[in-house]
Structure 1
Amino acid sequence: MSDAATTDTQAHLRQSQRPRAKPDPAVEAAIRIGLLAALLLLCYRIIEPFVVPIAWGIILAVATWPGYRRLLGLLRGRSVPASVAFVVIALLVLLVPVAMLSGTVVHGAEWLAQGFETGDLKVPPPPDLSGVPLFGPELESLWRDASTNIQDTLRALEPQLKALGGWLLHLATSAGMGLLHFVMAIVIAGVLLAKSDTGRRAADAIGWRLAGTRGLRFVRLSEGVVRSVSRGILGVALIQAVLAGLGMLAAGVPMAGLWALVALLFAVVQIGAFPVLLPVMIYLFYTADLTTAVLFALWALFVGSIDNVLKPMLLGRGASVPMPVIFIGAIGGFIAAGIIGLFVGAVILALGYELFLAWLAEVAPPGAEYRAEMASETSSPAADPAGGD
């Protein structure tokens, strides 16, 4: 081998044996975080259309676990038949009232359209509303005009009716999408209940990974809060809406399904069902026979007041946080994020409340020292307020 080749080989060996420069840790961390963020973003974009049904499925699974456990006992511990039975029962509970009440909406719309076409739609004369403050005289005048010539009254109210029609169309579209999401959520809840042991272990693992033993307690707290909100707020609102809709359906009120949906929204936001039931009561006293009107009035009083009995019994039950914390979190979450915010807001505020109590327990003085300090302050002579002898 020539001397030049030997020299090149030795130079190459010396260069290969030099220590390589270490990569910058900040650059390495930035690349890893960026790749992880991109992966998480892609995963979210893929499951984004299913986020709401999955969230509702988890909520339904947690809320209905006690009932599913009883169903599991009746079927001798067979999880798949119990989950199928749960899905069938839940779909019947959801779809049967919807089908009954939605039929009244279609019938009421057909009745209104036919009345406008034939001119047979009549509005009874108004009662004396002059004593009603703020809007009594204006309402009586509008009612009288509608009773004498409804076509001219509707033409005068055309802009307001167009806005109301757009709102009703948006409400119907939202209700249809919500119904589809609920059907998907029921199926997802059935799958989650069939795999409840795996789901509980996963939730416990996440809680333990985040906060150790306290994380397990937060997992149990979240379960209790979801059940409390589902029973105390959403459950009571559904009971009121269904009972109100059935009462209006039995009394022959047009579009009873629509008014039941409005009653559900009012009950969820804690306004109550009375703002819907009271106009229906007045309508029946002027259009129906006295017996029907009186029976519906009694039924409306019962439906409108049952939340005062059921809500204190169900809200806060099964959770270690006070009922006002759950209530404020649920209502604030609903205002911020809609119906699903009822659960998210209540869980977040309950967890924050527990973290605040844990912080107080850590910074507060020990019990013996605190009692000794209070005893010394109590036994010491009071200072002279005047500052003199």
Structure 2
Amino acid sequence: MNSPTDASNDHFVKNAIEAAIKISVLALMAIWSFNIIQPFMMPVLWAIIIAVTFTPLMGKLTAMLGGRRKLACTLFTLIAVAALIMPVVLLAESSLEAVQWLAKNLKAGGLDLPPATEKVENIPVIGKKIANIWNMASTDIKEAIENTNPFAQNLATSILGSIKGGVFAILQFVISFIIAGIFMVSPDKGRAAASKVISAIAGPKGVEFTDLTTATIRGVMKGVVGVALIQAVLATIGMVAVDVPAAGLFGLAVMMCAIMQLPPILILGPVAAYVFSTNSSTAATIFLIWALIINFGDGVLKPLLMSRGVDTPMLVILLGAIGGMILSGLVGLFVGAVVLSIMYTIFMAWVNEKDAAINNKDTSSEEAAQDDAEPA
């Protein structure tokens, strides 16, 4: 006959096995679900960032269109997608024309290239190498191809890899903008859903964390991406004014440096040296001053734009953005800032709670001491 202890042990083992099976099935379903949605996580995450950033603009556009929000979101999505796709189409067309021209001339017996000009030689960093290859190709194209074959193969492989990555990134952003357009049709529903999810995890502070997340994303977009875009546009204008070759590419490099929180002078410094070698001293000096203003201008713009509407110190947001980008790439710029801002808020709430408890304890002790000191 089984004792009560044996029956209790059997019941415990049965419950433990049943719980283990349920947990295993639940874990398997969670992993399976994650693998299914993983390809869509990055586009959806970017869509959320885009929707949060442009929702205020969408409100203004909706008012301009007489309250027709769906029309405003559709126009925004079409313009954004066209802005992403059109440069790719134009680049593909020009590349195809260049390849056809090159194949036609090689088939005809060679290329009729003039020697490299002095401007090509004076391009910062890579000018002399390009000029040497150019001059070799202008005299004997076959020798140039043979001498640069290993370099050309590596370059072609790198270019193809970059093109594939660029096309994939553009396709991802196209999908993200389409999803963001859908999100922005009814932003209140999206915010309510986000608040419910965050409240289920964070409790009563869910709404506060939702507002903090929204404000942080907009602050990072304005203070990091917005400032980088302003610096890139100003740098491009300055380079075009002094006839710098490939000014658009250098402007793009300035924007990437600024987003990565590197000083734009890393790009504009060599460009300024090139400008001194090709322009008058007055024009070169003005460009150098312009470059320095662009380089140090973020120190004024970031405090104005990044912390607007956010109680979290700018340094915390900036550290989160930089650390997040190092850890997770461009999307980490936003995720890192949001995570660090929330952790800072939780930490400061805990510190303030402890400080209030200590102050209350000290006050109670002082009152008790005063009561003891009073005569009976």
Tell me if TM exceeds 0.5: yes
Query: Shift of residue 185 of structure 1?
Result: 1.3
Pair 241,157 (structure 1): closer, same or farther in 2 beyond 3 Å: farther
Which residue in the other structure is 1:75 paired with?
65
* Whole-Å separation in 1 of the counterparts to 2:345 and 2:273: 48
Query: Closer, same or farther in 2 for the Cα pair 1:55/1:145, shift >3 Å?
Result: closer
Per mean C-alpha deviation after superposition, the further-off stretch among 253-262 and 162-171 is: 162-171
Alignment partner of 1:64 is 2:54: yes
**In the alignment, does 2:222 pair up with 1:227?**
no
C-alpha distance in 1 between matches for 2:165 and 2:129: 35
Q: Is the 8 A contact 2:219 2:306 kept in 1?
A: yes
Q: How does 1:45-60 map to 2 (within 5 A)?
A: 45-60=35-50
Matched pairs, number: 341
Partner of residue 367 from structure 1, selected from 354, 359, 370: 359
Q: Distance in 2 between matches of 1:286 and 1:263?
A: 21
Q: Percent identity, aligned pairs only?
A: 35
1:41 aligned residue: 31
Among candidates 200, 212, 215, match of residue 203 of structure 2: 212
Alpha carbons of 1:312 and 1:158: their partners in 2 closer, same or farther (altered >3 Å)? farther
Counterparts of residues 61-140 of structure 1 (less than 5 Å): 61-91=51-81, 94=84, 98=87, 118=112, 120-122=114-116, 124=118
- Looking at secondary structure, tell me which structure has more helix per residue: 2
Does the 8 Å CA contact 2:133/2:144 hold for their aligned counterparts?
A: no
Distance in structure 2 (CA, Å) of the matches to 1:280 and 1:169: 27
Distance 2:49 2:119 in 1: 49
Please state whether the residue corresponding to 2:217 is helix, strand or coil: helix
Tell me, in whole angstroms, the C-alpha distance in 1 between the residues paired with 2:156 and 2:198. Answer: 48
The change in CA–CA distance for 1:121 and 1:47 in structure 2 (over 3 A counts) is: farther
SS of corresponding position for 1:184: helix
Q: Is the 8 A contact 1:123 1:147 kept in 2?
A: no
Conservation of the 8 A alpha-carbon contact between 1:57 and 1:185: yes
Q: Is the 8 A contact 2:222 2:306 kept in 1?
A: yes
Match of 1:331 among 322, 325, 330: 322
State the match for 2:259 in structure 1: 268
TM-score, normalised by the number of residues in structure 2: 0.74
> What letter is aligned with 1:283?
Y
2:187 to 196, 202, 213: 196
In the aligned structure 1, how far is the partner of 2:27 from the partner of 2:249?
Answer: 44
Query: Which residue matches 2:348?
Result: 357
Deviations 1:282-321 (CA, angstroms, capped at 9, x unpaired): 3234346778756654554444343232211111222111
TM-align CA RMSD: 4.3
- Is the Cα–Cα contact under 8 Å of residues 263 and 273 in structure 1 kept in the other structure? yes
- Residue 263 of structure 1: CA displacement? 2.0
